[in-house]
Structure 1
Amino acid sequence: MGFQTPMYMLTDYLDQTRKGIIQLPDFQRGYKWEDERIRQLLITVLRGHPMGVVMLLETGNALVRFKPRAVEGTDVPAGTEPKKLLLDGQQRLTSLTQALSGDGIVGTKDDRGKLLDRRYFVNIAEAIEDPNRMDEAVISVPADGMIKKNFDRDIVLDLSTTEKQQEQGFFPLNELLNPMPWLMPYSFKNQELSMTFHDQIIQPAANYQIPAIELDSDTDKSAVATVFEKVNIGGLPLNVFELLTSVFAGDAAYYERTGEDFRLNDDLQEIRQHWKPYPVLDSIENTDFLQALTMLSTLEKHNASTSSRPPAVSAKREDVLKLELEDYLKWRDPLRDAFVWVAGFLADRHVFRKRDVPYPKQLVPLAAIKVALGKDAELHSVSQRLESWYWAGVIGELYGSASETRFVRDIEQVPAWAADPDQPTPRTINDANFVESRLHSMRTRNSAAYKGLAALIMANDARDWMEDKTFGAVQHKDMAVDIHHIFPQRWCNENGIDDEHRESIVNKTMLSAHTNRVIGGVAPSKYLEKIEAKAGIDSGYLDNLLTGHFVSPEAVRTDDFESFFTQRREALCQLIEAVLQKPVQRDVSQGIAAEDSSHFETEDEPEAEFE
């Protein structure tokens, strides 16, 4: 087994993927990058920043023959034999191949998993005005080139034709490697902009290089399997952690001061021991802690700078690697304690377990915000505003992936606003919206809003139907509280209730394991009688318990699923409106919601037999 480490032009990679010279081994997972990750990758290329190494395997070994398949989005004829197989870098090269060639349409998905077809453009004026604003200059647009709002009634931006793109100054990135046919007509009216854009953006991108590790054709199958496994388990976050561990261990000043190397992994293990009483913090990864610390370090440098262009606040992985050991040691203890505060903050919002945290990544800016606010975070008014920001992120589903940009906005905007409501409202709060039909598609813990709404229901002074206890941290654990169906699965199946309505969060609530066993799979009217008999309570008292869960007693006592569902959906909409302090669009009630036919998985919730 041997290898070499050449540098190849981006144009060479795209040419080879389109011709089938580079293909994938069939055991590679399918392409699955989200829209925002693709946009961030394009920004990386346009800014000339490194996107990492790809790993290739030369073919031609008679003893190692993997079935190849073409990179998705290419038109490679069937039977074309590749010269190289792509072991690592599939998502990146597939994204670049689709976005930068052909019609530029990429088959992707949003943070919620909804399939999308997108194209990518760069605002010429913004891109050349300030390279640091490339994040804002690159936009993602539906495949037809039109951004719409108000349920597609109003067109916000129309880039559906070349003429409209040129008129508004949005360059289509699928023309990046052959820009002149697009730029020539544009330059007649915007010659200076066109030339500057070509020289500062187009030309450097055309010369963009990506390093490769090429394994030779003598590499045996077991070695390929080992390499593939190792490069796909850790990914970028693990690489960042390992590299920073190595950098810190080599810090000469620390060694001179202490007589030993600094061990980052050991230090983070000590922090985890400090967090051991708070199991909700098990969701925090090493790289999450380092990202939060990087934000605090870069924020301090940004605020202390007297330059007209101060250093940017950042949570990006590349800036994590720029951390100095002294920065880490300065912010480590305040941040460690801030995460303990986060655990208490979550407990106050009825989030007690790792699996129930809506967005583990949202805890990164939350901990950094706590450090920035200091003791003021405990003040009632400040805590209330932090709660508004938190639920905006959860219910608005704003932290699904590629959240570094939002992290930075949060640390820059939230502390000032939380301390003084006259300061500008944070972007996360402004961005949060909710529509009624989303309640139909919130069906499992894969949805952050699903977990968030379950916590909000508990926070509404809801009590268990059998044990008549609130869902505090101790009771939640002792009663083995979980999300359960109100109209049981078995009853729904026997009575023709479709999957969409049966599995919706509207038909679920938080109950103890004991209560769920009593419910079993029978009609609500039957299990309510059983609860009254076993718990020794009358129907009026139980009706009050039901109401605490936003459940209509009349509807469940008459087994009227339709009435129950409609009333509870409206009650949950009102709960969300109270949290977001914004109206929820009643698209289902108004008959303008599209039919939800998306595939989904139900949660494993075995129905107990009648006791």
Structure 2
Amino acid sequence: MSFDSPIRDLETLLKDIDAGKIQLPDFQRPWKWDVDRIRSLLASIAKGFPVGVVMTLETGSDEVNFAVRPLSGARTSNATPHFLLLDGQQRLTSLYQSLLGQEPVDSCDPRGKVMRGYFYIRIDASLDPDLDMEDDAIFFVKEDRVVRANFDRDVVADFSDMEKEIAAGVFPLNKIFDTSYTRKYSRQFHNSHPDSDNMLDDFFDGPLKQLSEYKVPVIELSNTTKREAVCTVFEKVNTGGVALNVFELLTATFAAGSADFRLNDDWTARKKKIVSLRPVLSGLENTDFLQAISLLASRKRRLNYSGESEKVPGITCKRKDILKLSLDDYLEWADRLTDAFIWAGQFINNQFIFRHQDLPYRTQLVPLAAIRVALGTDADLQGVARLITRWYWSGVLGELYGGAVETRFARDLEEVEAWVRGGNEPGTVAGASFNPDRLLTLRTRNSAAYKGIYALTMRGDVKDWIYNRTINQGSYQDFAIDIHHIFPQKWCATAGIDNALVQSIVNKTPISSSTNRFISAKAPSRYVAELAARAQITAEEIHASIAAHQIEVPHLLTDDFHAFFEDRRHRLLNLIASAMGKPVLTSDLYGRDDFELFDEAELIESGAE
């Protein structure tokens, strides 16, 4: 990546904006600084203070081929830009509208209320060293150039023509580069203020000269800069705004190639469809979709590899590879992938995950959807579904999808597809393990494993203890099911139970908000007895309902927290081992080790759910 770092006249930059020589890549966000912030910027320039570096990108290459638009307020429409503005949009747009544009500055107050008008500078105040340039000299006037008070009934000041400006001793900042205006202003000012003691000359040689001859350092990136570098550079310099991602960059790239296609509009419609059918995927992001597109496009290139070159194309979804996607790549896979994400949402629901906040890893949806496209309807075959389910839970319970996981995505797509066709276990399955001690530290939804175990505890005919309805997608919503303590916190605190154990997922289970309120701070022996009466069922029935939550009821009847905790810990480890399809080395709380072995039929049955 090559670049120059010239010092440019502010006037030249603003006139290049006006002529369309400098424009914005379409991935830039809209502009709107408030009036106070613009006034502060103008004051800094009037005092000769530095206001930061501007960064531009030279146009004229395939790498720099983005849809473009003028800066807000610029008069150009169809000009071809020489440079794209990467950093400095807010500053240069503010300065263009304030100092060169002839239309009112389109701004707002600090609360966001729209304000349109012009900036002025008080000549005498700008020259007074005891006054502040920002607070006392530079001010904003609404677009009719009249200052009013008393609910707009009284006119306080009128700057609607040059004669009135001169009488008030103010100068319009959008005329500083207009030499004919400044000459006329000077003549009339001296005629109107013959005793001004050269005040206007001091103003022209001081604050006005600082503004009109201000220099701006510019970093100019050459048009050989790669798209990935553009994305990285933008992220680094755009610290005051929202970080640019590959989606915005591709939006601009695709728009440059086809004026009829808007990536953002297409994605918005697809996500709306996906979420309307599968609300659990409401957190799905546009970059997730592009990663899956990249996986499938690169997989196709690999499958079509003829062996003519030395390097076999890799399956990939890294940023640099996403930025190489063409519009044709996107359109080839987008429909199938939309259907695959809808399928993935149903798969997630089948794992008893019903809300997006309970989804262990949003990122794991990327390879899951890509796998569905690669396998087609074979993904629904019972044996194949069992393997995909094992892969999914291995990733969740092995906590393998945090951080940068693009390489795992690519490996999973290739290896899971091969696995279901008779190949070896994927690395995600073979390498996943669960440390039993992890149960003691899983206490909040911040952990994917916590969310995963929560979902596992709903497998099978698990019911709420009051409503006695099996927990499924409908009852989960109807009865506000959530994860709550089995031994209540207050009771445990009174009994002196270690809070680390109390907050562990071992002491939590899915029940309705009504059941949780009924339990309150009661001793388990008390609420178990009272639940039967509340639910209007027998003691045996309520015991069976509680036992389905992987709970040994006698431990609740005797209020024996430690016996309950140790027993349920082993039961949860059984669920984990069943979901992952492999034994888990366990130990009791006193350090005695033993291997938990699981019946193969049980593993198969559980994995096929």
TM-score by length of 2: 0.58
Q: How much does 1:510 deviate? A: 0.4
The separation in 2 between residues aligned to 1:446 and 1:278, in whole angstroms, is 23
Structure 2 partner of 1:447: 447
> Is 1:244 the counterpart of 2:244 in the alignment?
no
Pairing partner for 1:228 from 218, 234, 239: 239
Conserved 8 A contact 2:360-2:448 = yes
Structure 1 partner of 2:429: 429
Structure 2 partner of 1:584: 584
Structure number, greater radius of gyration: 2
Q: How much does 1:464 deviate? A: 0.8
Conserved 8 A contact 2:458-2:471 = yes
- Note the alpha carbon deviations across 1:380-412, whole angstroms, 9 max, x for none: 111111111111111111101111111011011
Structure 2 partner of 1:402: 404
Structure 1 partner of 2:117: none
- The correspondence of residues 406-417 of structure 1 with structure 2, limited to 5 A, is 406-417=408-419
Structure 1 partner of 2:462: 462
Sort the Cα spacing of 1:544 and 1:318 in 2 relative to 1 into closer, same or farther, 3 A.
Answer: same
Structure 1 partner of 2:163: none
The separation in 1 between residues aligned to 2:435 and 2:568, in whole angstroms, is 15
Sort the Cα spacing of 1:6 and 1:63 in 2 relative to 1 into closer, same or farther, 3 A.
Answer: closer
What SS does the aligned partner of 1:250 have? Answer: helix
Residue-pair matches, total: 371
Structure 1 partner of 2:280: 280
Sort the Cα spacing of 1:229 and 1:498 in 2 relative to 1 into closer, same or farther, 3 A.
Answer: farther
Conserved 8 A contact 2:552-2:564 = yes
What SS does the aligned partner of 2:525 have? Answer: helix
Q: How much does 1:228 deviate? A: 3.0
The separation in 2 between residues aligned to 1:501 and 1:471, in whole angstroms, is 26
Structure 2 partner of 1:510: 510
Sort the Cα spacing of 1:213 and 1:516 in 2 relative to 1 into closer, same or farther, 3 A.
Answer: closer
Structure 2 partner of 1:271: 270
Q: How much does 1:212 deviate? A: 13
Q: How much does 1:416 deviate? A: 2.1
Structure 1 partner of 2:605: none
Q: How much does 1:214 deviate? A: 11
> Is 1:484 the counterpart of 2:495 in the alignment?
no
Conserved 8 A contact 2:566-2:588 = no
> Is 1:302 the counterpart of 2:302 in the alignment?
yes
Alignment-mate amino acid for residue 527 of structure 2: Y
Q: What's the C-alpha RMSD, in Å, of the aligned pairs? A: 2.8
* Residue ranges of structure 2 left out of the alignment (5+ in a row): 7-46, 52-86, 88-228, 594-609
What SS does the aligned partner of 1:229 have? Answer: coil
Conserved 8 A contact 1:6-1:211 = no
* Residue ranges of structure 1 left out of the alignment (5+ in a row): 8-60, 66-86, 88-209, 216-225, 594-611
Q: How much does 1:592 deviate? A: 8.2
Alignment-mate amino acid for residue 228 of structure 1: T
- Note the alpha carbon deviations across 1:417-442, whole angstroms, 9 max, x for none: 12x2x311111001110121111011
Sort the Cα spacing of 1:366 and 1:6 in 2 relative to 1 into closer, same or farther, 3 A.
Answer: farther
Sort the Cα spacing of 1:574 and 1:332 in 2 relative to 1 into closer, same or farther, 3 A.
Answer: same
Q: How much does 1:285 deviate? A: 0.4
What SS does the aligned partner of 1:509 have? Answer: strand
- The correspondence of residues 135-154 of structure 1 with structure 2, limited to 5 A, is none
Conserved 8 A contact 1:437-1:588 = no
Structure 2 partner of 1:347: 349
Sort the Cα spacing of 1:298 and 1:540 in 2 relative to 1 into closer, same or farther, 3 A.
Answer: same
Sort the Cα spacing of 1:214 and 1:544 in 2 relative to 1 into closer, same or farther, 3 A.
Answer: closer
- The correspondence of residues 349-364 of structure 1 with structure 2, limited to 5 A, is 349-364=351-366
Q: How much does 1:588 deviate? A: 4.9
Q: How much does 1:5 deviate? A: 6.7
Conserved 8 A contact 2:231-2:246 = no
The separation in 1 between residues aligned to 2:361 and 2:437, in whole angstroms, is 21
Judge which range, 408-417 or 365-374, deviates more: 408-417
The separation in 1 between residues aligned to 2:590 and 2:491, in whole angstroms, is 29
Pairing partner for 2:388 from 386, 389, 392: 386
Structure 2 partner of 1:336: 338
Structure 1 partner of 2:12: none
Q: How much does 1:581 deviate? A: 2.2
The separation in 1 between residues aligned to 2:517 and 2:4, in whole angstroms, is 61
Sort the Cα spacing of 1:478 and 1:285 in 2 relative to 1 into closer, same or farther, 3 A.
Answer: same
Q: How much does 1:277 deviate? A: 2.7
Q: How much does 1:213 deviate? A: 11
The separation in 2 between residues aligned to 1:310 and 1:510, in whole angstroms, is 49
The separation in 2 between residues aligned to 1:549 and 1:483, in whole angstroms, is 12
Sort the Cα spacing of 1:268 and 1:410 in 2 relative to 1 into closer, same or farther, 3 A.
Answer: same
Conserved 8 A contact 2:487-2:507 = yes
Q: How much does 1:62 deviate? A: 12
Sort the Cα spacing of 1:227 and 1:408 in 2 relative to 1 into closer, same or farther, 3 A.
Answer: closer
Sort the Cα spacing of 1:479 and 1:5 in 2 relative to 1 into closer, same or farther, 3 A.
Answer: farther
Conserved 8 A contact 2:464-2:545 = yes
Structure 2 partner of 1:564: 564
The separation in 1 between residues aligned to 2:343 and 2:238, in whole angstroms, is 41
Conserved 8 A contact 2:231-2:249 = no
The separation in 2 between residues aligned to 1:356 and 1:304, in whole angstroms, is 39
What SS does the aligned partner of 2:364 have? Answer: helix
